[in-house]
Structure formats: structure tokens, C-alpha cells
Structure 1
Amino acid sequence: MPRLGQHFLTDKNALKKIAGFLDLKEGDAVVEIGPGHGELTEQILNNELRIKNTEIKIIAIEKDEQLAESLRKKFEARGNVEIICGDALKLLPSIIHNSLFIIHGYKLAGNIPYYITGKLLRTISELPEKPKISVFTIQKEVAERLAAKPPKMNRLAASVQFWAEPEIALIIPRDSFRPIPDVDSATIVLKKGVQKGIKTDAYYKTVRVLFSQPRKTILNNISNGMNISKDEARSKLKKAGIDENLRPQNLSVEDIIKIAVAFQ
């Protein structure tokens, strides 16, 4: 049985590609979440060797104590690999506050257990300094939701695309993992987006209101969610240049920002 919900990726070709998606540069710091047996860690180090005069820093956060101890022994000769045993959801904010990451930036990577994917993305969204690149192997269906555009926009996509530009880089069949999971996976690359020019709280509040009832029009959701009359909501949407009859799935991130600004 997988420990703590983990399914370990064993396909070396896929691991090599995933490490490549990190686009390693001199002085990069990589935080790996759930390294397991260190399969991806090894590939990241192999990539490092192919980049002349480059040393990167790897901090690997493993929740399973036995795996963490095994990783320490495996990489004890590498001075640039640090293994931390603990919950990444709790440790990530304090690690990122380290001045090293603030000054030089950092990248995230990991084969993420399905049950923590949503919580991890929310944790990242709340970090004051976002990763330059995040490369996560997650459930294929979740990756497709993350990368969705209108007319298939959803709350998860709207939330993540506020701070990152997602791209599905690789589809990985379920038999590439041990134990074999019930579904296929995908590697998604999240590249840090440009500053959107609106306060984070205002944007996410608007997302919650708009997607509170996805089948209803945005006029209804705004009126109910913001406790204002439909006439007032209609007037502000018109000024923002947004069709009141649209449903949340039809909105782009830019549309949501316009709505957030209009109702601040």
C-alpha cells in the first residue's frame, strides 16, 4: 500500500523530462515536496551536473519518517541537499520566508499525493513571494481543470491563474507508478505570472462570489453573494463592460479582475 497516499513515479524518462521542466539556472533553489525514495531528486541532481559550473540547493520535504531517514542516508554526501521531515503544507511558508529564497527566488517540484493537491495550491497562493516555476505531477483530471480557459473556467483555474500561467507538459499513464493508482497523471508547469494590479483579497473574494453557484448567471451570483440589488449589480457590470448574463465558466481572469475592480 502507498505510504501517506503516495504513488511513486518509476519511469526514468518521465522523471528526466520533469527535472528538465524546472529549467535550472545557476544558483537556483528547489523545494521538492514529497520526494519519496528520491527518484526525482536524483534527476534534478543529474541535470545540475549537465549545467557547467552550476550548483543548486535542494530542500526536500518528506512527511514519512522512514523515507526521510532513508533519503538522508542516500544523499548524505551531497552538501547541497537538505532533507526535512514534516508536513509541507505547514513548513513551506516558513521555509520560503528564508532570505535566500526571497533574494534569489525559488522553484517548487514534486509528485503530489492527490489528497493534498488543492490544499497545496491554496498554501502557495497565500505565499507573499511566489515560486518562479512550479512543476507538479498530479491527477490528470485536476491538471486539466487547472489549465482550463473559457468556456470551461472553474474556481480552481481562476484562483491559480491569478498568480501563475499553467501548462500541461506531460501526460503520464498510471502504470508508470508503483503502486499503480486508479487514474492517469499529468505534469503541470506553473510559471509565475505578472502582477495583476489588484489586491489579492479583492480578487479571491470575487472568485468565491462568482463561482458560488456555477450554473447561475454572474448577475445572480453577485447580487446574492454581495447582498446588493440586481439593479446595482447590473449597473456596475455594464460600466465594467461585462455581460450580466454570462455564467462563471465563460469568464477569463481578466474579466474577473474587471468585476473585482468594479465592485471594490
Structure 2
Amino acid sequence: MGETSYPIRMRELMARHGLSALKRFGQHFLVRDDVLGRIVQALDLHPGEQVWEIGPGIGALTAHLLDEGVEVVGFEIDRGFVSILREEFGGAPLTIVEGDVRDTWRTVYATRVPHRVVGNLPYNVATSIILDFLEGGLIVPQVFMVQKEVAERMAASVGSSAYGALSVIVATFYRCELLFHVPPTAFHPRPKVWSSVLRLHPVASPVPREHIPPFLSFVWDLFRYRRKMLKNVLLRSPLAARGVEGVVSLLERVGIDPTLRAEQLPLDRIHALWKEWKEEGTR
């Protein structure tokens, strides 16, 4: 479909099924065929692979994926779009899983591990979905379109104003590439902000999968008081039992100035601090 024909086709399908984009699901449909093509290219697909698509909507990206000879599992929360997908792609290697992906993916994952995950994620739940996959141990190559601000936070390095808990969590498990930005004019209805496409490559992580949930809690706690000195932050943590002198000694031992703030810590120092935090919890 071309840039002009797809919006027309989309409106026809939705009108026939009595549907419209629902704000409660944060729905903004990508209508630029060239952008869809770039997303598929970023996935580096191979025929026969299984790809999970989050929020396929009426199947614009789905069609491109199927053209690559892959098997698609689409997680769709909107019943109306589920009916469109089944009508449009009957007979294709497409499995539709109805419901909120955060409630359904683990059941599918128990028997079908994807090679790739892709999706134009709703702005209001994008971070929640990505972290839910991570917490559940789904760590595979992923390409997502998210709100530009969220993408910049995910890809940020220490020293950047966007650097925070989300940056640390993502960098601990992935190499995050911010590929390109997408203007509001590429969507229907148009959002008020720009979007960005990013790619996540799994990397060797110092955090074993069974320790991912407590690690996420540790990072969120560390950055909850991001502008407080670390020694004061840790006095609100399980390390408080060591007292002020003990906390200061611990920080110095792992190469951290106790007067620094969480937003000033590079990734390797956060990992060193996590190791101490975890060991304290097992004593």
C-alpha cells in the first residue's frame, strides 16, 4: 500500500466494522508505508522465524512482516481489530492473541519463544510493556516505536539530562539504538508529539534472570531520590543497618563518592552497588 492508499483503506475497514481509534488504548495508527518498511528492515528477519507483534491494529505492519516469510503472533487488546485481522489475514501464518499483552504473553511464551518482538506501542503503556517483558525474562531482539521522550530516556547515557532509572535498566540488558524519529503527520489520528523507533539487542548482563525483579526494584529505589546524595539514599535502604559510617565505607569500597547522586553514576558503578545491596539482603 502507498502512503495515500493506506489511510483510505484503513478508514474503509474501520468504517465497515464500526470502529474508531480509542483514546483509552492510546491508539495512533502509522500510515506511512516507508516508515513501516524501515521498521521491518531494522528487524533483520529471516524466513521461518517467529515474530511477536504488539498491537497490530488493522494489520499494516503485519502485512509487511508476513511478506518476509515469518510467522507472526499478534497481541491485540481491541476486539474490533481482532475481527479485522482475522478477516484480512485468514489463512496466513498469523496467530491472534486477544487481550492486554501484559496479561497474555507469559502463557504464549511457555510454549513459543519468539525470535524477534516488534510493535508500535501505545504511548500510555509502552514503558510498562517493555519492563514487563524484561521482568518475565523475555530478552530477545526487539524493535519498538515509542514516544520520542521515552526513547531518549531509554537510550540516554550518564551525563545526559534524560539519564535515569529507565536508562540504567535498559542498558543492563540491551544495547539500545535510537534509529530514527517519526513526525506526528505519519499517524492517524495525529498525536501531539513525535515518536521514535529504537532497537534493543540483548547483551551479556551481570544480573541473572532470576534476579531481574529485585534489580529493577533496586534501580527504581536508587533513582527515586535522584538529587539526594547517595549516602543519604542508602540510609533509606536495606543497607541502612550499616549506619552512616558503614554506608560511606561501602560506597568508597566500590569506587563511589558518597556525595554523588544517582544520576551521576555510570553503569558499572551501579552494578557494583547492586552486588553489595543483594549480598546485604541475603545476610
2:127 maps to a residue whose letter is G
Counterparts of 1:208 and 1:139, CA distance in 2: 21
CA gap 1:36/1:129 in 2 versus in 1, 3 angstroms: closer
SS in 1 for 2:46: coil
How far apart are residue 239 of structure 1 and its match?
Answer: 1.1
TM-score by length of 2: 0.84
- In structure 2, what is the equivalent of residue 51 of structure 1? none
Q: Distance in 1 between matches of 2:121 and 2:46?
A: 23
Q: Deviations over 1:90-116 (max 9, x none)?
A: 111111121x41xxx521111111111
**Do the aligned partners of 1:209 and 1:222 also contact (CA within 8 Å) in 2?**
no
Deviations 1:17-75 (A, max 9, x none): 001111112432111010111111111123x1xxxxxx421001111111111111111
Contact 2:97 2:104 in 1 (8 A): no
The 5 Å alignment of 1:117-132 reads 117-131=126-140
Partner of 2:21: 2
Name the amino acid aligned to 1:20: Q
Report SS of the residue matched to 2:228. Answer: coil
CA–CA distance in 1 between the matches of 2:169 and 2:147? 18
Bigger radius of gyration among the two? 2
Q: Does 1:206 align with 2:218?
A: yes
Matched residue pairs, number?
251
What is the aligned-residue identity percentage?
A: 28
Unmatched tracts of structure 2, length 5 or more:
1-19
Q: C-alpha distance in 2, partners of 1:239/1:201?
A: 26
SS in 2 for 1:2: coil
The equivalent of 1:45 in structure 2 is: 66
Alignment equivalent of 1:145, drawn from 140, 153, 156 = 153
Report matched runs for 1:12-91 at 5 Å: 12-46=33-67, 48=68, 55-78=69-92, 80-91=93-104
SS state at 1:109 partner: strand
> SS where residue 18 of structure 1 aligns?
helix
Question: C-alpha displacement at 1:197, in angstroms?
Answer: 4.7
Q: Aligned partners of 1:128, 1:121: CA distance in 2, in Å? A: 11
Aligned residue type for 1:211: F
Identify unmatched segments of 5+ residues in structure 1.
49-54
DSSP 3-state at the match of 1:110: strand
Q: What is the aligned partner in structure 1 of residue 272 from structure 2?
A: 258
Contact residue 120 and residue 144 of structure 2 kept, 8 A: yes
CA distance in 2, matches of 1:27, 1:240: 47
2:5 counterpart residue number: none
1:220-246 per-position Cα deviation (integer Å, ceiling 9, x unaligned): 111222334221111111111122222
User: How far apart are 1:142 and its partner, in Å?
Assistant: 0.6
Letter in 1 for 2:57: G
- Whether the aligned pair in 2 keeps the contact of 1:121 and 1:160 (CA below 8 Å) is no
Could you tell me how far apart the structure 1 residues matched to 2:228 and 2:39 are? 39
> Secondary structure at the residue paired with 1:171?
strand
Structure 1 residues 197 and 71, CA gap change in structure 2 (3 angstroms): closer
1:220 aligns with 2:232: yes
- Aligned mates of 1:70, 1:13 — CA distance in 2: 23
> 2:4 matched to which residue of 1?
none
Contact 1:206/1:259 (CA < 8 Å) preserved in 2? no
User: What do you get for the CA RMSD once the two structures are aligned?
Assistant: 1.6
Q: Which secondary structure does the structure 1 equivalent of 2:124 belong to?
A: helix
Runs of 4 or more consecutive aligned structure 1 residues displaced over 4 Å after TM superposition: none
2:198 aligned residue: 188
Q: Which residue of 2 aligns with 1:177?
A: 187
User: Shift of residue 201 of structure 1?
Assistant: 4.3
